[in-house]
Amino acid sequence: MASAAAALAADAITATELTRSALARARLPAARAVFTQLREENALLEAAASAALRSAGVVPSPLAGLPISVKDLFDIRGETTTAGSAALADRSPAAADAEAVRRLRVSGAVLVGRTNMTELAFSGLGLNPHFGTPTNPCDPNAARIPGGSSSGAAVSVALGITVAALGTDTGGSVRIPAALCGLVGFKPTAARVPLDGTMPLSWSLDSIGPIARTVACCSAMDRALSQSTAEELPTKSASCQIAVPRSLVWEDLDRYTAEAIEATLARISRAGVTLVDVEAPEFFEIAEVNAGGGIAAAESFAAHRQLLDQHGDRVDPRVRVRIERGSSMTAAEYLDLLRSRREIQGRFIRRMQDFDLWLMPTVPHVAPLLESLATDAAYFAANRLMLRNPSLVNFLDGCAISLPCHDQGNLPVGVSLVAASGMDRQLLAAAARLEAVITSM
């Protein structure tokens, strides 16, 4: 993002040229199934407008003139939001932009296309039987999953089509594809970016965040999306204490992930950061209270029950069955869930109050092969494992950022830095300081 902005500032390239290049990459075979819609005409108009403003000395933000992709969960005025569902392809075009999209427009970003996703955003794997599944660019020799639900968002960045992508994260949908595709994914505190005009999955857990190549890129996106007035990342004392919760999130790691994470811990420790192993029994409690489908099942059924009634046969059965788990939940059970969430949040925050942040593997495994998920049993087992770690942060209403930590030439592995609700800029500051240590591949 910084190099593209510098090229624009130096008149080495124009916004129109950048956009034409992005659109050309989006039409290559490697980008199959990345987009549900390319906004060719409108993107070029937006680029021309950005170029005209720049020539007049008006550069509204570091995103001005840069190509950005938008997950097909956000309304864009005059366009149909399908949420990756064939059952929604005939919806009326949106009357207005989603608030997050409006804020990107104000920043001067060029919106090149709507990205593919898991149908209705309800899976961490990124498969879509309607629009196809974009394959992970990090393994040219095999078809691996991109991660989800913001699958096309991550692949649009990994392929160099866009400098950043707008995604959503209800249980890891920004961080999972970022980790599996070797990128940075930032999940802010849920209330940080308004959800207006964004198709809901779970009102209590949904959040909006970016996928990009660096912490600085995600920080620039965060400033635009949250309308933060902070121009620079805040500074803190170099004496940072990081908790390493050795509960649940370290179970079932594959060899690649375990080796990469342990090597990362060693590098961070050598850099002078204090790492403290802690217990986190709350993680097991969260898994227990969510065993019946949890808040996401209840709220997704409330959001999509009419769609299932009218067009359930057109919805991916693997998504439909997860939503339908919410149909049998009583009001009392749902309220019990919300009360348990508040109690667990309070206890966990008190447990972590002496630490600046905590660290954990983003997901336990590298990207599995697409062919390994052919059966429902394999699919649901992989999905549970992918969602297990990142969904804890949504339940706790924290903020988190996933950074790539694998050695060059190996399959991508992500490590997450996590902070309490509202500590977003502090988390980004810590991630910026540690990025060179963590990503020294």
Core vs surface per residue 350-385: b (16+ CB within 10 A) or e: ebbeebbbbbbbbbbbbbbebeebeeeeebbebbeb
Q: Does the active-site annotation cover 173?
A: yes
Q: Does the active-site annotation cover 421?
A: no
From 149, 204, 219, 416, the catalytic residue: 149
DSSP string, 99-137: HHHHHHHHHT-EEEEEEP-SGGG--SS---TTT--PPPT
Q: Tokens at residue 305, please? A: 């029950």
- For residue 113, the one-letter residue type is G
Q: Does the active-site annotation cover 71?
A: yes
Contact between residue 381 and residue 171 where contact means Cβ atoms under 8 Å apart: no
From 85, 107, 150, 173, the catalytic residue: 173
Task: Find the radius of gyration of the CA atoms of the chain.
Answer: 20
Q: Nearest Cα to 184, choosing from 175, 192, 193?
A: 175
Q: CA-CA distance, 185 to 215, in Å (whole number)?
A: 8
From 61, 69, 71, 416, the catalytic residue: 71
Contact between residue 179 and residue 185 where contact means Cβ atoms under 8 Å apart: yes
Q: How many residues does the chain have?
A: 441
3-state secondary structure of 59: coil
Q: CA-CA distance, 20 to 43, in Å (whole number)?
A: 9
Which residues make beta-bridge pairs with 258?
none
Please name the residues in contact with 201: beta carbons below 8 A apart, sequence gap of 6 or more.
120, 121, 122, 168, 170, 296, 299, 300, 303
Q: Which residues are catalytic?
A: 71, 149, 173
